[in-house]
Amino acid sequence: MKAFPAWLQATPMGLVFLVFFLMPLLLVGAVSFWPQNEYTLEPGFTLSNYTMLFDGCFSGGEAGELCTTAKTYLSTLKFCFLVWAITLVLGFTLAYFVAFHVPSVGAQTVLFTVMTIPFWTSNVIRMISWIPLLGRNGWVNTTLMDLGLIRQPIEWLLYSDFSVVLAFVHLNTTFMMVPIFNSMMKIDRSLLEAANDCGASGWQTLWNVIVPLCRTGILIGSIFVITLVMGDFVTVGVMGGQQIASVGKTIQVQTSYLQFPLAAANAVVLLGVVLLIIVALNRLVDLRKEL
């Protein structure tokens, strides 16, 4: 029986991609140019939403201060970089241990399952679970005071940049670990033996053999983490006590006040920033060739 042409086999997935991904993006882009109206959405074309979004960003502001949008994006990028760096170290370490120091496939499966158990519950529940631990009268402060290590509760443990980064790392480490673990499992173990026979140390083998062969997993995990952190607003709102700004939180607030064109313009800019980051990462590793 003659197989269907490749383009025909890809048609169903292409239609799903068109209806559920491309069309919503085009709609958001179109709404970003509509005039702002407090009561209804009226189709039209105006650049006022983008002008309002970047108001004061190019005039220098007072005493050279950054505009609100620039501050918000810098705050989001700060969280993004910190979370990416921490999850990369944690995810790589966990994946390395499971892939190379657990000899049994069954034990690897058990450990991998245990590490993914927290993802069986809601993100909000996992975030809320930190509040009794990090609060002013939480378990951490109480324990430290009982041990005499501190005299008064540590205020920055909760509703701070620290708690936001901690929650992000907790929620996203697995998204970094899984692709890296998948890449490590594909590495030919004879390459490690060859490096050892050539006199390479453990660190030399890790840096010159394992890391280059895991760059596809590192890139995929980085894309997952970056896109999730850049657009997140729930984690920043809950763990930041509604006091820390982020782009996702700004869009959520604009939407709640029915400022849909302005929120759409902000979403388009956010999408552009994320795409630029992904393009920059792809310049380091050609994902198409690696896959």
- Kindly report whether the global pTM for this prediction surpasses the value 0.75: yes
CA distance 41 to 104: 60
* Among the listed residues 262, 252, 266, the one whose alpha carbon sits nearest the alpha carbon of residue 34: 262
Specify the CATH architecture of the domain 67-290.
Orthogonal Bundle (1.10)
The one-digit pLDDT tens for each residue of the chain (291 residues) are 566 777 777 888 889 988 888 999 999 999 999 998 777 778 888 888 888 888 877 665 555 567 788 889 999 999 999 999 999 999 999 999 888 888 788 888 888 788 777 777 788 888 888 888 888 888 888 998 888 888 888 888 888 899 999 999 998 998 999 899 888 888 888 888 888 888 888 888 888 888 888 988 999 999 999 999 998 888 898 888 888 888 988 999 888 888 899 999 999 999 999 999 988 888 877 666 655
Q: What pLDDT does 287 receive?
A: 65
Output the six-digit token pair for 18: 């068109």
In this structure, which long-range contacts are made by residues 202-211, counting pairs with CB atoms below 8 Å and at least 24 apart in sequence?
206/96, 210/96, 210/184
Q: What pLDDT does 64 receive?
A: 54
Q: What pLDDT does 60 receive?
A: 58
CA distance 172 to 227: 11
